[in-house]
Amino acid sequence: MIQLRNLNKVYKGAQGEFHAVKDLNLDIREDDFYGIMGLSGAGKSTLIRMINRLEEPTSGEIVVNGENILEYSEGKLREFRKKTGMIFQHFNLLQSRTVEGNVAFALEVAGWDKKKIPERVEELLNLVELGDKARSYPAQLSGGQKQRVAIARALANNPKILLSDEATSALDPKTTKSILELLKNLQEKLGLTIVLITHQMEVIRSACNRAAIMDRGEVVEVGKVEEVFANPKTDIAREFVSHLAPDEKDEVELVKVPGRKIVKLSYMGRSVEKPLISQMIRRFDIDASIVAGSIDKLVTESVGHLILELSGEKQDLAIEWIRDHEVGVEVIYNG
């Protein structure tokens, strides 16, 4: 649905050029809940703002449903933006308007028939579970309620694409969870494609089916969320998921023994539910002590990590056997 091809954004300033996005290629499919993650300055906000041309690329292509939107006329771009909703970290609500007035504003700007606006506003507020706050002002709302108003406003013109620019960063964990649940429900109900940027791996874990990790303007890792969690390939990805997996560096120092191996297992999906460790112990007559472990339930799969200390004559055979069962194995100490 959205194809980003050789996308670049270069800012020119007194200190010279700053390459915010570098030769970026990304494919976002219809109905994806796509997470783009990176540290501050990684280029993720610039990237998402280029998707609806709030930022103009320096070069490259943005292809949506087969059309390069960089070739759109001003009128066609306005129509495209109507079908591309956007929500922001700081809500961007009009303080002088009520909740219903804020949502109505998006419809007024889009040229809706004034007689149809009240009904549409009511429908949208019910959709985000704020029907009882229609006549409240933003100052009277919690952060989560403000974001729900912003979501309702973003959905006013029946968009097919919803862009989220750090929409949960200003919220506490409990409210973040409720907003992500709302977005997932809306995606399913309305058939949305959602592109979300964040610096919080918990957000990716809770909501997304696919993810890309950015570093210094480049996409350094991309794939299904469970693949990124189970087997991160880059240092930045490993850093992001490290709090969800045991820290082998700290734990391994405690158990290094000559003649024994310490291995890290990464597994997903049905492998999480199988008693592979107990089968391995019986089959190869070895001992396996669990040093650390975790299982995380993601949107599409469960992902597990275990660090084991192995002892016995058939350690190598046991490792090869468990690899054959679609479990990632990394030997982190070979005594």
Position 219 scores a pLDDT of 96
Calpha distance 307→247 (Å, rounded): 9
CA–CA distance, 68 with 62 (Å, rounded to integer): 5
pLDDT reported for residue 28: 97
User: Could you tell me the residue range of the domain that residue 77 belongs to?
Assistant: 2-241
Shared domain for 191 and 43, answered yes or no, is yes
The region that residue 110 occupies, defined by phi over 0 for left and psi between -120 and 50 for alpha, beta otherwise, is alpha
Find out whether 151 and 196 touch, Cβ atoms under 8 Å. no
Instruction: Report the 10 Å Cβ neighbour count for 111.
Output: 8
Q: Are 297 and 291 in contact (CB under 8 A)?
A: no
- 90 burial class (0-12, 13-18, 19+ CB within 10 angstroms)? middle
Number of domains in the chain: 2
Question: Is the same domain home to 316 and 277?
Answer: yes
Looking at this protein, which amino acid is placed at residue 181?
A: E
Q: What are phi and psi of 37, to 5 degrees?
A: -120, 145
Could you give the CA distance from residue 23 to residue 106 in angstroms, rounded to a whole number? 34
Residue 186 phi/psi, 5-degree rounding, is -65, -40
Residues 30 and 156 in one domain: yes
Out of 241, 262, 279, a domain closes at 241
> In 3-state terms, what secondary structure has residue 53?
coil
Mean pLDDT by groups of 10 residues along the chain of 335 residues: 96 90 96 93 94 95 96 93 91 94 94 95 96 96 95 95 91 91 94 94 89 95 87 84 50 60 77 76 88 68 77 89 85 82
1-21 burial, b if ≥16 CB within 10 A, otherwise e?
Answer: bbbbeebbbeeeeeeeeeebb
Residues 162 and 231 in one domain: yes
Give, as one character, the DSSP assignment of residue 244: G
Question: What is residue 245's predicted lDDT score, i.e. its pLDDT?
Answer: 46
Domain boundary among 199, 215, 241: 241
266 neighbors 259 (Cβ within 8 angstroms): no
CATH number for the domain spanning 271: value is: 3.30.70.260
Same domain, 249 and 217: no
Q: Give the whole-angstrom CA distance, residue 267 versus residue 294.
A: 11
Are 288 and 308 in contact by the 8 Å Cβ rule? The answer is yes
CA distance 207 to 194: 10
